[in-house]
């Protein structure tokens, strides 16, 4: 299915309708995208590029290089596996293991520059799940985050939320990767002043390998 470059507001994760694509109700609030232009942290794509040791994002080729590096160094090796593991722990009601995974992510050097934004977005979504009193794992994880025993990484909250709303892991992983890619392209589009067709071509190029990557991740889990 072709995904156009359309987005929900960055500052909200609407309550889901279970038939929807997870990306549509989790929004495009990837914490790095959401923080662009803010006053408290990663303030521009240039800063994000510096975190990945890249040139400033001032052209279509530079944006492409940035997104390829993001996919290769953050999305594929860290974010998608974290979502998968959180989903597995949540499905089994393994709160202790989820908190241990949370702390393991905090020790990952590649995620250090992105930690404050990730935690802010994750906590915001956990607070939206607070009314679900019967979801014991959600309440235990929220308690651990609010007490400082866990950080509340947005990827872990995403995986937990997929379980809470009985949404399939495969769909959730693919939607997260696609939505994140769309968010970065949208964030760069105004300053780059590129034609919509060029942005769509970039999105299609970057997302073409994602289904195979998600399948490989799920197969590695099953092995």
Q: What is the pLDDT along the chain (223 residues), one digit of tens a residue?
A: 334 444 333 333 333 333 344 444 444 445 555 544 333 333 345 556 566 666 667 789 888 988 898 899 889 999 999 999 999 999 999 999 999 999 999 999 888 877 887 888 788 888 888 888 788 899 999 999 999 999 999 899 989 988 988 888 998 899 888 888 887 887 778 878 888 899 899 999 999 999 999 999 999 875 5
Predicted local distance difference test score (pLDDT) of residue 63? 87
Parse the chain into domains and list their residue ranges: 25-218
Predicted local distance difference test score (pLDDT) of residue 209? 95
Predicted local distance difference test score (pLDDT) of residue 54? 60
The CATH number of the structural domain formed by 25-218 is 1.10.4190.10
Predicted local distance difference test score (pLDDT) of residue 39? 34
Tokens at residue 116, please?
Answer: 């404050």
Question: Considering the entire predicted model, what is its pTM?
Answer: 0.80
Predicted local distance difference test score (pLDDT) of residue 112? 81
């Amino acid at each position: 299915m072709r995904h156009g470059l359309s987005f929900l507001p960055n500052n909200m994760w609407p309550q889901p309708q279970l038939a929807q694509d997870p990306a549509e109700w989790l929004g495009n609030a990837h914490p790095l995208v959401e923080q662009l232009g803010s006053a408290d942290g990663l303030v521009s794509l240039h800063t994000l590029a510096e975190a990945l040791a890249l040139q400033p994002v001032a052209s279509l080729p530079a944006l492409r290089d940035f997104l390829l590096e993001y996919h290769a160094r953050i999305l594929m090796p860290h974010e998608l596996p974290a979502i998968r593991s959180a989903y597995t722990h949540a499905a089994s009601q393994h709160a202790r293991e989820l908190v241990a995974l949370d702390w393991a992510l905090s020790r990952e050097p590649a995620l250090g520059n992105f930690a404050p934004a990730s935690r802010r977005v994750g906590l915001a979504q956990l607070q939206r799940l607070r009314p679900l009193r019967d979801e014991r794992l959600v309440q235990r994880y929220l308690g651990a985050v609010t007490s400082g025993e866990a950080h509340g990484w947005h990827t872990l909250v995403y995986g937990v939320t997929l379980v809470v709303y009985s949404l399939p892991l495969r769909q959730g992983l693919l939607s997260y990767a696609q939505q994140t890619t769309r968010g970065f392209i949208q964030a760069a589009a105004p300053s780059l002043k590129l034609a919509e067709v060029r942005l769509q071509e970039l999105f299609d190029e970057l997302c073409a390998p994602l289904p195979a990557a998600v399948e490989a991740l799920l197969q590695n889990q099953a092995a």
